[in-house]
Chains A and B, each alone.
Chain A
Amino acid sequence: MPPSAPYIELHAHSAFSFLDGASTPMELAAAAEDHGYAALALTDHDGIWGSREFAEACKGLELRPITGAELTVTLPESPDFAHLTLLVESATGYRNLCRLLTMAHSHTRDNPGRVASQPWATLEQLEEHAEGLVCLSGCARDGALAGAWERRDTARGERLGRRLLGAFGRGRFRVELQRPYWRHDRARNRWLAQLAARLGVPCVATGNVHSHSRRRGRLQDAFVAIGLGETLEESEPRRRGNRSSALVAPAAMAARFAEHPEAVAETVRLGERLQFDLTTDLGYQHPRQGDRDADDELAGLCAHRLTESYAGRPSRDEAEGRLDQELATIRHLNLSGFFLLHHELLELAREVAVEVRGRASARAVLPPGRGRGSSVSSIVCYLTGLSHIDPVEKNLFSGRFLNDEAQTLPDIDLDFPRDIREVLIPRVHEVYGADRSALVAAFPTYRPRGVVRDLGKALGLPPGEIERVAKTTGFHESAGEMEQDVIAAIGAERAAAPRWKALLWLCDDAMGLPRNASQHSGGMVISTEPLVDVCPIVPAAMVGRQIVQWDKDSCSDARLLKIDLLGLGMLSAVERCVEEVATTRGEELDLSRLALDDRETYESIRAAETTGVFQIESRAQMQMLPRTRPQNLDDLTVQVALVRPGPIQGGAVHPYIERRKLQRQCEGESREYEIPYEHPLLEGALEETLGTIVYQEQVLEVAIDLADFNHAEAERLRRAMSRKRSQQAIDEHRDSFLVGAVGAKKVPLETAERVWEQIQGFAGFGFPKAHSAAFGLLAYQSAWLRVHRGEEFLCALLNEQPMGFYPPDALVQEARRRNIRIVPPDANRSKVLCHVETPRAAVVGSGDPRPHEQRGGSVEGPPTPPHSAGVVRGGLVVRVGLGYVKGVRKEEMEALVAERERGGAYRGVADLASRSGAGIASLERLAWAGALDGTPLDAAATHADATVAESTGGSPVGGERRQALWGVGVTANGRGGARRTQLALPIEPPQAPPLEPLGDWGELIADYRSTGIALGKHPMELMRPGIDPALLSSSELERAKDGGMVEVAGMVVARQRPGTAKGIVFMTLEDEHGIVNVIVPKRVYERHRATVRAAVMVRARGRLERREGVVNVLVESVEPLERGEAQAPPPLGPEQPPAHRARSKSQPEPSSRRARELAVAELRSVAPAGHSFGRRGR
């Protein structure tokens, strides 16, 4: 830093001004250092969201961070808002800034939709919290004084200036001059300088920086347009109009203010005064820090629990030893209060769980939540209920979680079922106080789809084109790839249009910048002192929740006590399943008492039959399971951790699989397998993972054992790996690793370098073993439920959506292949949620005692071949809930079910329309979904239908959706009316006219349109007779020759493009028999990217690869199924896509090819989109 730098920037916005700043705090800090600034103030609008990140970024630079914010205030005698720049001079000033910002945001969600509105504080509030703050008079356009000049109200400006002078005094009030190169800069600054002279205060020059470079100024323009919801053209009056808001060198700023040299000099004088350091002067203490009574309290609690938990167990001595060791560390780190507070929270969660579940519920025996993360390795966490895994039994290493040299507070993460978490979070606010607890913020960043949509709109691009491109950009990618997407979606000619070119240009800059502030999934900060003195608190979008202005990294840097109350979908699903099992089978399942060595469960896992199973259902996991062949929970623990970016990039996966295979062979031959370690010093750290680095804490252990790191150094390395943008930080550890290994431990340099490469590769992301153990157990439990309580488990998964790897339709199709029976929604049988019916329950409370599926309704459970190869199990049936029908009103469905339970089954559509209270819109949707197929058109038909059905052995009567829809149309009331309810009048509909049945294809479309689940025939089954016979089905593929060329087709249920796979896309196709795994190499993907990303049904040609029971097709070409099939005119059978069927006889018959194209196009518009997964972030 040149000591003579003539200027300090005291007014700069980062992207944390949300759409009014186009650079990250790190970019600003780095650019400021490059320019030779001594200090830089970050003054984002109404927030310090990025202040901690900024302060941390400056630590490694020769740049002093100044904390501040640009506060919006209301003006006296005016409806306008004005801006003031506030800079922190002391700890008191920082507290006042936090309180002011909290007040400014306190009303921002006071509207019916809780949509965030403009924050503002009053001048009175500012006056009460002025101490310790320096106030600059604000920016050129909206500043409190400059804005008055702009509005030609100089008298009011002067009055305001005197009032601010009164609040801050001559020492802490400055008139702010800016030079944005607008038309009247000089005149405005002359007036401001004269005003300053009259007030007797100095002027200070500022740059009102909005980007770290001139290039980023264009993005700033686009952001302003996005923020205003306008195009770039429309937003011209509010944009800056030139690039002068970029950070430039101090000398350039001094030259810009050549007419006001004193204002330039004042920046340096003032900047030197502002010495408050956010990284050291925060003054936060976590609850009960230093309270020695807490040590005794925690020790007593743990000792009591240990006596209970380890009574009579051989591991007791070891447990006592570990407890003593951990308690000593906790005392040393002054953390007893921290653990007690977590324990207290868990007890609160226990109370909430009882309320939510009900005392009589089958779920009541379950703990309120479960531990995850590294805390599971701690015996103190285990004994205080914060973990459910015995760390002694599982031999979990707690050094990663807790060690004497820890620099930051340990992380304790707890998973809760979603319903419990929803109640628990606002309860914590109530119990600890609104000023002492808040959720951690999260900052959703710009990703390709959002970038295309937001920037496309700002650039005035046609909405249709924007949407086409956005749908193609399913993965996270670079701007170069984005260009290919644009060309694929709208053609090269349009992609070359200037506005599309501009979008591509902007995308690269926008990607990864924060879009807005949101709430973290569950991280909560709790304090016994007012939290509003530490960080501003603002209301969240959800009622009863509030967030601090820092994200989890900033909270961690500030050592704030953070507890993660996470909602875990699978935990909710498992609990729902337990409850459903109790209802259907009268059985109280205690998951904690499940046998952990169930043969059938492990057989299904080894066969990769894991659809819906926690953590091991992904394509990659399924491909690995037949090769790793897990046999116990320890194997599952490794399995969960293995398919992560860390082990993959660290090169652990294939060595582990091969070594495990050899180990099994050795075990079979009763000899010991010798693990090939890189170095004997690694034996202790890597024995359990066969010499490979699979767990996060193994990085610590390797660094300690091989490179002579101490715990603190190893922990710093681990933390460097766990953060975004950490490559630079990791590189800094390389030298000390090599020096330690070669120097202190005498490891050959080449070996040390190889091990370092593995560590560096691991930086992507890995699980701690403790976390894997917790997740491995849940994986086992969910696999057990899938095998032994399949109907209830499927039902629970359907009710807990969205979650997991597969869309609901794929879950259902897979379950049907296992002969689980799923039946459509039925107004006389369904509940709002999906539920499991027993044969007895299926006839109770129904107007028609025959289950719909026995009446030959349009939908059967497992259809005839290929689905019903086996016997339907157990007589249980999963009934789709009424709430699953898209577009129905939940409260209407609740009322419909309540009325049915109160007054008995609906005797007909008219009865339903008059009693249920559902409006015509919901009833129409139910009719389309087939939910009224079991409800006769009129009450009189009930008896007649039953008679006919008996005589025909259950043939269809009144079961057509078109008839039901017609019935709704003539009996339900109109769409208007205040309550939209049908009067209870005895309207009997006339006889329905003859209506064409929907047919298989029509029902498929209706199913997808209404519930998203096809319960009739699979689309591929319907298309199969007409498509190229050379296309192999999934079952035929099983018998095809390894290495041969094959062609396959199916619906796309999932596509993955992991960042670790070098551009390869993994597609999962589904046909009527099962799943086809397709691998799309990068070169093929480049040629067919639109198809790979967006097509609903594809055909693919490639080479079959069969390895250890895993079948893949390595494709050379991919195309949309309909396009390929258009070449060969298929014969149209009665069950094929019948685009011609609904036509009247007078209409000309379309060609079969055209009919197929139309039918498939219709399917494409309604079929559930396959899930897409890809790499994240910049």
Chain B
Amino acid sequence: MGATTPGLRRLYAPRPVTARTGPNGTPLAVGDVDVATVREEWEVDDRWWIPERLQRRYFDLALANGRSVVVFRCALSGRWYRQRA
């Protein structure tokens, strides 16, 4: 997801996670924890004019352990990330 300058830490940097998904691409579990509810779902497809293109499908999830989490799937890499939002 891009390197940062040494000595600086990027806030809210996305962190890779694993996700198990259903047939429509909606996450069923994040890591080992099942998804209780999908609260919201949105998309970002932007910066297409530069190499750092964003193409993400976000989910605001309530997990079975009672925690909330925002994850996204990067359509360019196919990987899942967790992001504070």
A residues sitting closer than 8 Å to B (CB atoms) are: 181-187, 217-218, 221, 232, 236, 239, 241-244, 459, 498-499, 502
Chain B residues within 8 Å of A243, by CB: 43, 45
Which B residues between 5 and 51 are near A, CB-CB below 8 angstroms?
39-46, 48-51
Residue from the list A184, A236, A244, A502 in contact with B48, Cβ < 8 A = A502
Chain B residues within 8 Å of A239, by CB: 46
- The reply to whether A242 and B51 form a contact with Cβ atoms under 8 Å apart is no
- The reply to whether A498 and B43 form a contact with Cβ atoms under 8 Å apart is no
Residue from the list A181, A217, A232 in contact with B41, Cβ < 8 A = A181
Interface centre among B40, B45, B48, B49 (most CB of A within 10 A): B49
Chain A residues within 8 Å of B51, by CB: 498
Q: What is the chain B residue whose CB lies nearest that of A502?
A: B49
Can you list 24 A-B pairs with a CB-CB distance of less than 8 A? Answer: A181-B41, A181-B42, A182-B42, A183-B40, A183-B58, A183-B60, A184-B40, A186-B40, A187-B40, A218-B49, A221-B48, A236-B46, A239-B46, A241-B43, A241-B45, A242-B44, A242-B45, A244-B43, A459-B49, A498-B49, A498-B50, A498-B51, A499-B50, A502-B48
> Closest approach, in angstroms, between the C-beta of A240 and any C-beta of chain B?
9
Q: How large is the interface on B (under 10, 10 to 19, 20 to 34, 35 or more residues)?
A: 10 to 19
Q: Is the interface of B mostly helix, strand, loop or mixed?
A: strand
Complex CA–CA separation, A897 to B44 (angstroms): 65
> Closest approach, in angstroms, between the C-beta of A169 and any C-beta of chain B?
34
Q: What is the chain B residue whose CB lies nearest that of A183?
A: B42
Sample of 11 more A-B contacts, CB < 8 Å, known A183-B40, A183-B58, A241-B43: A183-B42, A185-B42, A217-B45, A218-B48, A236-B46, A242-B42, A243-B43, A459-B49, A498-B49, A498-B51, A499-B50
Q: What is the chain B residue whose CB lies nearest that of A239?
A: B46
> Closest approach, in angstroms, between the C-beta of B76 and any C-beta of chain A?
14
Q: What is the chain B residue whose CB lies nearest that of A499?
A: B49
Chain A residues within 8 Å of B50, by CB: 498-499
**How would residues 50 to 83 of chain B score, 1 for a CB under 8 Å from any chain A CB and 0 otherwise?**
1100000010100000000000000000000000
> Closest approach, in angstroms, between the C-beta of A221 and any C-beta of chain B?
8
> Closest approach, in angstroms, between the C-beta of B47 and any C-beta of chain A?
8
Complex CA–CA separation, A182 to B39 (angstroms): 13
Complex CA–CA separation, A243 to B43 (angstroms): 9
- The reply to whether A185 and B48 form a contact with Cβ atoms under 8 Å apart is no
Complex CA–CA separation, A55 to B58 (angstroms): 39
> Closest approach, in angstroms, between the C-beta of A1085 and any C-beta of chain B?
30
- The reply to whether B49 and A241 form a contact with Cβ atoms under 8 Å apart is no
Chain A residues within 8 Å of B46, by CB: 221, 236, 239, 241-242
Complex CA–CA separation, A459 to B47 (angstroms): 10
> Closest approach, in angstroms, between the C-beta of A408 and any C-beta of chain B?
44
Chain B residues within 8 Å of A244, by CB: 43
Complex CA–CA separation, A863 to B44 (angstroms): 69
- The reply to whether A242 and B43 form a contact with Cβ atoms under 8 Å apart is yes
> Closest approach, in angstroms, between the C-beta of A950 and any C-beta of chain B?
72
Complex CA–CA separation, A236 to B60 (angstroms): 22
Chain A residues within 8 Å of B41, by CB: 181, 185-186
Q: What is the chain B residue whose CB lies nearest that of A232?
A: B49
Query: How many residue pairs, one in A and one in B, have C-beta atoms under 8 Å apart?
Result: 44
- The reply to whether A181 and B43 form a contact with Cβ atoms under 8 Å apart is yes
Q: What is the chain A residue whose CB lies nearest that of B52?
A: A498
Chain A residues within 8 Å of B42, by CB: 181-183, 185, 242
Q: What is the chain B residue whose CB lies nearest that of A218?
A: B48
- The reply to whether B43 and A186 form a contact with Cβ atoms under 8 Å apart is no
Q: What is the chain A residue whose CB lies nearest that of B40?
A: A186
- The reply to whether A186 and B49 form a contact with Cβ atoms under 8 Å apart is no
Complex CA–CA separation, A241 to B42 (angstroms): 10
What 6 A-B pairs come out closest when comparing CB atoms? A502-B49, A242-B43, A181-B43, A242-B45, A181-B42, A183-B42
> Closest approach, in angstroms, between the C-beta of A104 and any C-beta of chain B?
32
> Closest approach, in angstroms, between the C-beta of B62 and any C-beta of chain A?
13
Chain A residues within 8 Å of B60, by CB: 183
Chain B residues within 8 Å of A186, by CB: 39-41
Complex CA–CA separation, A805 to B58 (angstroms): 59
Chain B residues within 8 Å of A184, by CB: 40
Chain A residues within 8 Å of B48, by CB: 218, 221, 502
Complex CA–CA separation, A218 to B55 (angstroms): 13
Chain A residues within 8 Å of B39, by CB: 186
Complex CA–CA separation, A502 to B48 (angstroms): 8
Complex CA–CA separation, A217 to B39 (angstroms): 27
Q: What is the chain A residue whose CB lies nearest that of B60?
A: A183
Complex CA–CA separation, A244 to B57 (angstroms): 12
Chain B residues within 8 Å of A242, by CB: 42-46
Complex CA–CA separation, A116 to B60 (angstroms): 42
Complex CA–CA separation, A185 to B60 (angstroms): 12
Chain A residues within 8 Å of B49, by CB: 218, 232, 459, 498-499, 502
Q: What is the chain B residue whose CB lies nearest that of A455?
A: B49
Q: What is the chain A residue whose CB lies nearest that of B49?
A: A502
Complex CA–CA separation, A68 to B58 (angstroms): 34
> Closest approach, in angstroms, between the C-beta of B45 and any C-beta of chain A?
4
Chain B residues within 8 Å of A183, by CB: 40, 42, 58, 60
Complex CA–CA separation, A54 to B7 (angstroms): 58
Complex CA–CA separation, A559 to B26 (angstroms): 54
Complex CA–CA separation, A775 to B5 (angstroms): 71
> Closest approach, in angstroms, between the C-beta of B74 and any C-beta of chain A?
14
> Closest approach, in angstroms, between the C-beta of A563 and any C-beta of chain B?
47
Q: What is the chain B residue whose CB lies nearest that of A217?
A: B45
- The reply to whether B40 and A185 form a contact with Cβ atoms under 8 Å apart is yes
Complex CA–CA separation, A241 to B44 (angstroms): 6
Chain A residues within 8 Å of B45, by CB: 217, 241-243
> Closest approach, in angstroms, between the C-beta of B80 and any C-beta of chain A?
18
Complex CA–CA separation, A176 to B62 (angstroms): 28
Complex CA–CA separation, A183 to B85 (angstroms): 10
Chain A residues within 8 Å of B44, by CB: 241-242
> Closest approach, in angstroms, between the C-beta of A251 and any C-beta of chain B?
14
> Closest approach, in angstroms, between the C-beta of A463 and any C-beta of chain B?
17
Complex CA–CA separation, A184 to B60 (angstroms): 10
Chain B residues within 8 Å of A459, by CB: 49
Complex CA–CA separation, A186 to B40 (angstroms): 6
Q: What is the chain A residue whose CB lies nearest that of B24?
A: A255
Chain B residues within 8 Å of A217, by CB: 45
Complex CA–CA separation, A1042 to B51 (angstroms): 56
Chain A residues within 8 Å of B43, by CB: 181, 241-244
> Closest approach, in angstroms, between the C-beta of A249 and any C-beta of chain B?
16
Q: What is the chain B residue whose CB lies nearest that of A497?
A: B50
Complex CA–CA separation, A243 to B51 (angstroms): 18
Complex CA–CA separation, A156 to B49 (angstroms): 40
Complex CA–CA separation, A232 to B36 (angstroms): 38
Complex CA–CA separation, A221 to B51 (angstroms): 17
Complex CA–CA separation, A1114 to B31 (angstroms): 73
> Closest approach, in angstroms, between the C-beta of A88 and any C-beta of chain B?
33
Complex CA–CA separation, A239 to B43 (angstroms): 13
Interface centre among A181, A218, A236 (most CB of B within 10 A): A181
Complex CA–CA separation, A182 to B46 (angstroms): 13
Chain B residues within 8 Å of A221, by CB: 46, 48
Complex CA–CA separation, A185 to B48 (angstroms): 24
Chain B residues within 8 Å of A181, by CB: 41-43
Complex CA–CA separation, A185 to B58 (angstroms): 13
Interface centre among B40, B41, B42 (most CB of A within 10 A): B42
Complex CA–CA separation, A241 to B57 (angstroms): 12
Q: What is the chain B residue whose CB lies nearest that of A506?
A: B49
Complex CA–CA separation, A186 to B50 (angstroms): 31
Q: What is the chain A residue whose CB lies nearest that of B53?
A: A498
> Closest approach, in angstroms, between the C-beta of B2 and any C-beta of chain A?
15
Q: What is the chain B residue whose CB lies nearest that of A255?
A: B24
Complex CA–CA separation, A232 to B51 (angstroms): 14
Complex CA–CA separation, A242 to B39 (angstroms): 20
Complex CA–CA separation, A960 to B8 (angstroms): 67
Chain A residues within 8 Å of B58, by CB: 183
> Closest approach, in angstroms, between the C-beta of A498 and any C-beta of chain B?
5
Complex CA–CA separation, A904 to B45 (angstroms): 73
> Closest approach, in angstroms, between the C-beta of A974 and any C-beta of chain B?
48
Complex CA–CA separation, A218 to B48 (angstroms): 8
Complex CA–CA separation, A182 to B41 (angstroms): 8
Q: What is the chain B residue whose CB lies nearest that of A243?
A: B45
